[in-house]
């Protein structure tokens, strides 16, 4: 049976539904109709609000007009229909272009750290309400990112040590993050090698965001977590929008958020790495 949300396109039943790999939360398929029209459709049950949040994030990224984002066609409680992006070959200057465009995205500024609503990082809730006046990035990252995940890890049976280490290291962590104060940037929020495409023209296209306004170093840290991108990406980014000195020192703290989330999503294989990152801050 084809996803009911496709009825809203008014094109009748698709003649083909082809599975698309890579997702671990929703079922992803390309639907082709009799006239050759194609759409990308994601479906999942029991994920209240997830697709509305994804659509909102995609709209925010598209409004920045910095990098290609698939058009949102339909959104429902159990499904999301997007423009189908054809894939092409990666040209030699792909990562240079990608780095420049990603820097352009980050030049879109917000009024406060956070977002207009909570959303999701994978299937985990991502709280986005501002802390205080919304202008304190270290406190936002500590409370809405690290502490939220550490508390969730304890709830999920991983014990209190992560929370305790975070409490002990709070002063040093917030002090470190304060060393690169800058206005809130629009972030993809979950950019790794599986969350971009090479489109028909050989240009980058972003998918599967966890959007909020934050410090751009946090976005770049995720790109480096699982192998990283080609060096040309980081060189081009740095030329277009240089980072503050000491960004390498802040990298593990920003990566910790995603490692904690992987701990909560996928289990204890990520526990020791989270502990290793936190211990030096707690011991100081």
Note the pLDDT tens digit of each residue in 61-106: 999 999 999 999 999 998 999 999 999 999 999 999 999 999 999 9
* pLDDT tens digits, 221-252: 999 998 899 999 999 999 999 999 999 999 99
As annotated, the residues of the chain forming the CATH 3.90.1200.10 domain(s) are 94-283
Q: What is the pLDDT of residue 22?
A: 63
- Which residue in 162, 194, 167, 147 sits closest to 268, CA to CA? 162
What is 94-283's CATH topology? Aminoglycoside 3'-phosphotransferase; Chain: A, domain 2 (3.90.1200)
Cα(259)–Cα(245) distance, integer angstroms:
24
Split at pLDDT 50, 70, 90, the class of 31 is: very high
**Residue 115 burial (C-beta neighbours within 10 Å; 0-12, 13-18, 19+):** buried
In the CATH scheme, what is the code of domain 4-83? 3.30.200.20
Q: What are phi and psi of 118, to 5 degrees?
A: -70, 155
As annotated, the residues of the chain forming the CATH 3.30.200.20 domain(s) are 4-83
Tokens of 54: 């994804």
Catalytic residue (one of 190, 208, 219, 249): 190
Question: Catalytic site residue 190?
Answer: yes
Cα 37 to chain centroid, rounded: 29
- The pTM assigned to this predicted structure is 0.96
Three-state DSSP at 186 gives strand
Tokens of 134: 């919304």
Tokens of 280: 């030096």
Cα 131 to chain centroid, rounded: 20
DSSP classification of residue 83: E
Cα 269 to chain centroid, rounded: 21
* pLDDT tens digits, 129-160: 999 999 999 999 999 999 999 999 999 999 99
- Which residue in 283, 282, 275 sits closest to 259, CA to CA? 275
Q: What is the pLDDT of residue 45?
A: 83
Q: Which residues pair with 109 in a beta bridge?
A: 185
Q: What are phi and psi of 70, to 5 degrees?
A: -65, 140
What are the Cα distances from residue 13, in Å, to 3, 18, 86?
9, 14, 21
What are the Cα distances from residue 56, in Å, to 51, 76, 94, 117, 128?
9, 12, 27, 9, 13
């Amino acid at each position: 049976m084809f996803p009911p949300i496709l009825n809203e396109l008014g094109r009748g039943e698709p003649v083909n539904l082809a599975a698309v790999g890579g997702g671990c939360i929703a079922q992803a398929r390309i639907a082709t109709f009799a006239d050759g029209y194609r759409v990308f459709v994601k479906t999942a049950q029991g994920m209240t609000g997830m697709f509305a949040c994804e659509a909102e994030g995609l709209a925010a990224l598209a409004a920045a007009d910095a990098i290609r984002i698939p058009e949102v066609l339909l959104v429902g409680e159990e499904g999301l229909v997007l423009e189908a992006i054809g894939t092409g070959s990666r040209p030699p200057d792909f990562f240079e272009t990608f780095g420049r465009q990603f820097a352009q995205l980050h030049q879109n500024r917000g009024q406060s750290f956070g977002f207009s609503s909570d959303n999701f990082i994978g299937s985990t809730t991502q709280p986005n309400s501002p802390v205080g006046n919304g202008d304190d990035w270290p406190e936002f990252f500590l409370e809405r990112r690290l502490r939220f995940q550490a508390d969730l890890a304890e709830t999920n049976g991983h014990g209190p040590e992560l929370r305790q280490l975070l409490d002990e290291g709070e002063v040093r962590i917030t002090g470190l993050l304060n060393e690169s104060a800058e206005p809130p940037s629009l972030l993809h929020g979950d950019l790794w090698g599986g969350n971009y495409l090479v489109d028909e023209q050989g240009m980058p296209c972003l998918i599967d965001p966890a959007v909020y306004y934050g410090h751009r170093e946090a976005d770049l840290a995720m790109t480096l977590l699982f192998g990283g991108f080609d060096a040309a990406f980081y060189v081009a980014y740095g030329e277009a929008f240089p980072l503050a000195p000491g960004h390498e020192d802040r990298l593990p703290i920003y990566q910790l958020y995603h490692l904690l989330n992987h701990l909560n999503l996928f289990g204890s294989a990520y526990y020791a790495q989270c502990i290793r990152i936190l211990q030096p801050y707690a011991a100081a």
